C-alpha cells in the first residue's frame, strides 16, 4: 500500500495572488490612461487672409502693439513709444483707450515663449486681440 505524506498542521495555505495582482495592475493603467485631465489652455484665434486688405496703419481707430527682439531682449512698441518690459507695455496699454481694436505686430525673431507670455498677460487684462499681423510673402 502507498503511504500518504503526513500533513503538517502548522503550515498555512495562502492563495496565489499573482493573477489578481495582474488584473489590478491592468485596471490601474487603464484608469490612469482614460482619466480626463483638465488642461489650462489659452484660446488663440489664428490670423487668416481676409478680404479687408487695408493695414491697421491705414485704419483710424486701431492700436498696434509691436514686439521685436533688440539686444537679445523683447522690446515692445505702442503709439511711437518703446517699452523694455512686458509690465510697462501693459501699463502703457491701460493709458490708451481700451474700446478700440488691438493688433499685435510680432517680429519673426521673437521667441514663442515671449509671445505666449504677452498673450497670457493681455488675456489676464481682458484685452481682445483683433488680429496678429504677419509679413506676407
Chain segment 5-60, per-residue pLDDT in tens: 776 667 677 888 899 999 999 999 999 888 877 777 777 666 565 555 555 455 56
Tell me if the pTM is above 0.75: no
- Residue 125, C-beta contacts closer than 8 angstroms, at least 6 positions apart: 90, 93, 94
Q: Which fold has domain 63-133?
A: Nucleotidyltransferase; domain 5 (3.30.420)
Cell of 66: 509691436
Chain segment 57-111, per-residue pLDDT in tens: 555 677 788 888 878 888 888 877 888 888 888 888 877 766 777 788 888 888 8
DSSP E strands, the chain: 63-70, 73-78, 81-83, 102-106, 129-133
Amino acid at each position: 500500500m502507498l503511504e500518504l505524506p503526513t500533513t503538517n498542521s502548522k503550515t498555512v495555505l495562502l492563495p496565489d495572488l499573482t493573477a489578481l495582482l495582474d488584473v489590478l495592475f491592468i485596471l490601474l493603467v487603464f484608469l490612469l490612461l482614460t482619466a480626463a485631465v483638465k488642461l489650462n489652455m489659452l484660446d488663440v484665434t489664428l490670423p487668416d487672409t481676409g478680404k479687408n486688405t487695408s493695414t491697421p496703419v491705414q485704419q483710424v481707430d486701431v492700436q498696434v502693439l509691436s514686439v521685436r527682439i533688440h539686444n537679445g531682449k523683447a522690446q515692445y512698441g505702442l503709439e511711437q513709444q518703446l517699452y523694455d518690459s512686458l509690465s510697462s507695455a501693459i501699463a502703457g496699454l491701460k493709458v490708451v483707450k481700451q474700446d478700440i481694436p488691438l493688433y499685435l505686430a510680432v517680429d519673426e525673431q521673437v521667441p514663442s515663449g515671449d509671445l505666449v507670455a504677452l498673450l497670457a498677460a493681455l488675456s489676464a487684462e481682458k484685452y481682445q486681440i483683433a488680429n496678429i499681423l504677419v509679413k506676407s510673402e
